[in-house]
Each structure stands twice: as structure tokens, then as C-alpha cells.
């Protein structure tokens, strides 16, 4: 054969491999509102940057009807590419090929690209669209998942790992996404569950749709398994690119800085926060009145909305925000919000992202439900995550900082590097009402006018303790600042913390309360 013919053969083979499960299966995929696996990859990556590997891998199954069956690429596409010029590893399961089911060679391909990502210290993006373990391949499929989980765990905290759920993700298959740092879901397309409708029907006799068990909204609002929600695949891909732009490629690097921009929001900080501590406001407005260009990329927007987490930039550099949301449950910490904050703090710490904490909360959520759900165990995650974190940690106490909440929200005692408080800050063991009722119980009960006495004691307590000056007099608060000074103080604190070194004792690993 001439070279030309060799090249033609190669091209033909590639063309065939790219046909996936064939025209009919591709049509079905399209009819479900889903892009093909290759389209997904090329939509996420920089134009023409995708380099594919293992295109000609074939399955080795011989049981059932598998002998002689052609499964192009064994139902998964792997490769490398760039996003805004930064290298990433990527894989996408191809549902048109045996339902994207995971057999031995399919899992080996995924493992190969995972190993590559870890070795090259670059982020891994996994697009899941699969019927789960390939039934015909038995224990080889289960082994494949085990190998993936092991690699997810080894890569955790070394390279960012992103999971995209763009189809079914059933059975144990959900545990790879659960082991990664961020899970993206899309309305109507993403389905994630351990047991699907038929199993639930068989075991419990109950009827549910896949959407009800594990649709996109379920995981964004109720289970907390997903971090980003989009209405279309394209919107989801834009979110992934944005996330990649905010985070470093591995744990030895800092996120790439961009051109610093001034705050865009015209809202003044003091106009956002009502002086009356009983009135709520949207903490996200406050964040956007501080960040470059007023950009805030929120994570887990709809889950445990009483805490707000996400990325912004200060003077061009990425920071993570952890902030109470007075608009939802007065911004209390509870089981879910503690989980949400704790994990985010650990991500930021692992990937060298400074953390800014904005505090306005009355403490942990009281109640028997929370106690029985383990608010002690869950709440401890926030304490653990902040104490453990060695990245620059800066706190601004806006209004309320009561009780356990004061300590937990990156107080000096958790080793905050800088603690600022607005003059509106109230730092005390508990809110003035509760405190007055307990401390002055006898005086209130024996007064001629108990209510008047109660009010006067609340006032007395407020004046004495519910302010920032007691904490400032002890050095627990470094400086009481005017709201308008917040950004400049934060910028300076970040600047002087750039080469922060914090000692933590040598250990194999800690035992966080997870």
C-alpha cells in the first residue's frame, strides 16, 4: 500500500470509530435533547484543542451476546485539551454505545486518563452518561468502578476533579462523582441515583419517576450531591469553563490571576445592611460590593441557602467566600450548611485559595430535629475545616456573631489571620433577648412591670456586650472598621498574607467528623 492508502485507511477507521453506536442511536440521543459525547467534549474545550486517545480500544467480553459485537471505543471517549489555554484531561461516556455501560476496557480507558491527569497534575473532567456496570461483564465491571474510585481518592486534593452528569448515572456509578470536587447537573437530562424506579418498586412497592428520585433539582436543592445547576448543556459547559478559570490546575499552584478590576456594583456597603439586626438582607449583594467587577461565582446556590459559598476575585486573584445568609433562617449554621461550608473550606485550603468569611448569624439552629440529625457531628466539620486550613483566612463580622457561631465562623481562635468587625457587630454568648431572660430572670420576675424590666435588661446587656468593642479590647477583633473600608482592608490583608506559612503538626491524616 502507498502512504496515501495507509493514511486513507487510518482516516476511514477513525471515521468509523467516531460513528459511536450508529446513526439510529445518535438520533435517539439527539431526540432526548442530549449532545453526543464528542460534541460535549469539544464544546467544553478550547476550539480544536481536543486530542483523543484509545479510539480503537475494543471490549474483550465473550459471555452472553458479546462475542463479535463491535462497541466503538468501548463506549467512552478520553483525551486531553485546553480550557482558556490551561490543560485538562477529559472523558465522556457515549450512551449510544451499549448505553455507555462500563465494562473492563471502558474502565481501563477512564483509568488511563485519570492516571494521566494525576501524573501531569492537571484537572480531570468526567462526563457521565451511562447505564452503569455492564451487565454482561459481571465482576470485571465492578472491578472497573473500584479502580476509578481508588483513583478519585488518590487524586483528591492534588488535582481538581469535576463530574458532569449528562444522562443516567445509576447504582454504584454515582460514587465516582461523589468522590470528586464539583458535580454539574442539567435540567431534564441528569439522573443520579443508587436505586432506580424498578428497584424501589420491587423492594418498597412505591412508584417514583427517575426525575423524582434523582433529577437535577433534587440534587441541587435536597440531597446536596450537585454543586451547579444548568438549564441546558451549553449553559453547563460555560459554568465548567468559568470554574476552571477560578481554580488552580493542581495543589502546588495558585489560580491564574487575571487583570484586576474595580467593583462594578454601585451599592454602598452600608446601604445594603440594615442597622436593625432583625431585618434581613442578601449577603450576596454584600459580596458583590466587595469583589473585582462585582463578580461572584456561587457554588451550591440552592442547597442550604442559609450559607453562601463561592469564588470571587480580589485584585485579580481568586478567593473563596464563606458567608452567612441572613435572608434564609437568619443565616444559622445547621447540619446541611455545615457540610456545605466545611467541604468548600477544605477545597480552598487544598488548592491554595484564600478564604474570606463574612459573618452575620445568631448561632447553630436549635431544635430536636437538628440534634437528632447530628448537628453536633455536622457542625464540628466547620470547626475542623477552619482550624485545619492554612491558607490566608480573613473574617469580617458584619452584625451578629453569637455563641458557637462566633467561634465557628473563622474566629481568631480558629486561627483567623485577620478579624475585622463593623461597628454594627454584636459579639456575645447569645442574643440579648435570650441572655437577658436567663441572667436577669429573678429581677424580671419580681419586677412590678416585668416586660419593662425585661426591655431595660436587654438594653443593658446590649450596651455592655452586644458590640464589637469588648472583643476588640481583648484583641480577638483586630480592628473595628467602617463598612466603606472593607474592600481596602481585605485587599491589604490578602497582600500581606501572600507568603503565609502556618505550622500544623505532622500526621498521617486527621480524623475530621465526616
**Residues in the site for ligand HXC, rule: CB under 6 A?**
98-99, 101, 131-135, 142, 145, 168, 170-173, 196
d(CA 483, CA 481): 6
Residue 134 or 346 having the CB closest to ligand HXC: 134
CB of 89 to ligand HXC, least distance (A): 22
CB of 351 to ligand HXC, least distance (A): 28
Cβ contact 72:97 at 8 Å: yes
Residue 173 or 416 having the CB closest to ligand HXC: 173
If you ran DSSP here, which 8-state letter would residue 100 be given? G
d(CA 170, CA 175): 9
Cβ contact 349:320 at 8 Å: no
- The maximal CA–CA distance of the chain, rounded, in angstroms, is 109
Q: Kind of pairing, strands 307-314 and 161-170?
A: unpaired
Residue 82 or 195 having the CB closest to ligand HXC: 195
If you ran DSSP here, which 8-state letter would residue 309 be given? E
- What lies within 8 Å, CB to CB, of 56 at 6+ separation is 13, 17, 73
Residue 170 or 414 having the CB closest to ligand HXC: 170
Cell numbers linked to 234: 451549553
Residue 26 or 407 having the CB closest to ligand HXC: 26
CB of 67 to ligand HXC, least distance (A): 15
CB of 258 to ligand HXC, least distance (A): 40
Residue 67 or 473 having the CB closest to ligand HXC: 67
CB of 133 to ligand HXC, least distance (A): 4
365-369: long-range contacts (C-beta < 8 A, 24 or more apart)? 365/329, 365/332, 365/333, 365/334
C-alpha closest to that of 416 among 312, 502, 489: 502
Cell 477545597, residue? 347
Residue 93 or 424 having the CB closest to ligand HXC: 93
CB of 465 to ligand HXC, least distance (A): 53
CB of 406 to ligand HXC, least distance (A): 42
Q: Within 10 A of 510 (CB to CB), how many other CB atoms are there?
A: 10
Amino acid at each position: 500500500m502507498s502512504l496515501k492508502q495507509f493514511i486513507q485507511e487510518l482516516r476511514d477507521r477513525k471515521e468509523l470509530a467516531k460513528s459511536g453506536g450508529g446513526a439510529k442511536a445518535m438520533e435517539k440521543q439527539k431526540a432526548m435533547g442530549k449532545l453526543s459525547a464528542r460534541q460535549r467534549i469539544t464544546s467544553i474545550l478550547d476550539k480544536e484543542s481536543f486530542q483523543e486517545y484509545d479510539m480503537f480500544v475494543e471490549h474483550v467480553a465473550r459471555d452472553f451476546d458479546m462475542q463479535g459485537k463491535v462497541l466503538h471505543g468501548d463506549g467512552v471517549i478520553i483525551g486531553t485539551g485546553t480550557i482558556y489555554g490551561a490543560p485538562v484531561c477529559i472523558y465522556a461516556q457515549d450512551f449510544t454505545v451499549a448505553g455507555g455501560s462500563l465494562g473492563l476496557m471502558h474502565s481501563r480507558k477512564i483509568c488511563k486518563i485519570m492516571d494521566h491527569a494525576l501524573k501531569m497534575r492537571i484537572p480531570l473532567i468526567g462526563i457521565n452518561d451511562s447505564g452503569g456496570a455492564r451487565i454482561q461483564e459481571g465482576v470485571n465491571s465492578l472491578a472497573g468502578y473500584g479502580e476509578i474510585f481508588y483513583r478519585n481518592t488518590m487524586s483528591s486534593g492534588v488535582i481538581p476533579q469535576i463530574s458532569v452528569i449528562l444522562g443516567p448515572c445509576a447504582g454504584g456509578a454515582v460514587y465516582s462523582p461523589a468522590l470528586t470536587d464539583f458535580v454539574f447537573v442539567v435540567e431534564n437530562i441528569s439522573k443520579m441515583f443508587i436505586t432506580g424506579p424498578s428497584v424501589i418498586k420491587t423492594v418498597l412497592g412505591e412508584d417514583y419517576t427517575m426525575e423524582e428520585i434523582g433529577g437535577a433539582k433534587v440534587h441541587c436543592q435536597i440531597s446536596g450531591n450537585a454543586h451547579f445547576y444548568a438549564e441546558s448543556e451549553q449553559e453547563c459547559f460555560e459554568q465548567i469553563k468559568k470554574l476552571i478559570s477560578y481554580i488552580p490546575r493542581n495543589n502546588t499552584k495558585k489560580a491564574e490571576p487575571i487583570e484586576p478590576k474595580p467593583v462594578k456594583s454601585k451599592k454602598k456597603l452600608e446601604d445594603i445592611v440594615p442597622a436593625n439586626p432583625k431585618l434581613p438582607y442578601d449577603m450576596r449583594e454584600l459580596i458583590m460590593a466587595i469583589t473585582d467587577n462585582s463578580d461572584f461565582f456561587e457554588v451550591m446556590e440552592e442547597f442550604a441557602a442559609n450559607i453562601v459559598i463561592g469564588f470571587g476575585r480580589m485584585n485579580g486573584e481568586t478567593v473563596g467566600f464563606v458567608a452567612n445568609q441572613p435572608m434564609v433562617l437568619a443565616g444559622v449554621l445547621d447540619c446541611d450548611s455545615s457540610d456545605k461550608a466545611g467541604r468548600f473550606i477544605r477545597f480552598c485550603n487544598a488548592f491554595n485559595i484564600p478564604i474570606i468569611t463574612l459573618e452575620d448569624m445568631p448561632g447553630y439552629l436549635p431544635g430536636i430535629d437538628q440534634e437528632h440529625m447530628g448537628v453536633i457531628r455536622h457542625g464540628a466539620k466547620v470547626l475542623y475545616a477552619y482550624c485545619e486550613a492554612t491558607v490566608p483566612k480573613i473574617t469580617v463580622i458584619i452584625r451578629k456573631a453569637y455563641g458557637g457561631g462566633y467561634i465557628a465562623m473563622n474566629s481568631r481562635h480558629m486561627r483567623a489571620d485577620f478579624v475585622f468587625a463593623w461597628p454594627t457587630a454584636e459579639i456575645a454568648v447569645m442574643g440579648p433577648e435570650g441572655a437577658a431572660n436567663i441572667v436577669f430572670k429573678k429581677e424580671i420576675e419580681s419586677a412590678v412591670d416585668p416586660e419593662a424590666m425585661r426591655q431595660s435588661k436587654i438594653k443593658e446587656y446590649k450596651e455592655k456586650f452586644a458590640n464589637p468593642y469588648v472583643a476588640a479590647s481583648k484583641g480577638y477583633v483586630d480592628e473595628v472598621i467602617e463598612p466603606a473600608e472593607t474592600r481596602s482592608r481585605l485587599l491589604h490583608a490578602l497582600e500581606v498574607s501572600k507568603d503565609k506559612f502556618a505550622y500544623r503538626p505532622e500526621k498521617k491524616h486527621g480524623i475530621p467528623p465526616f
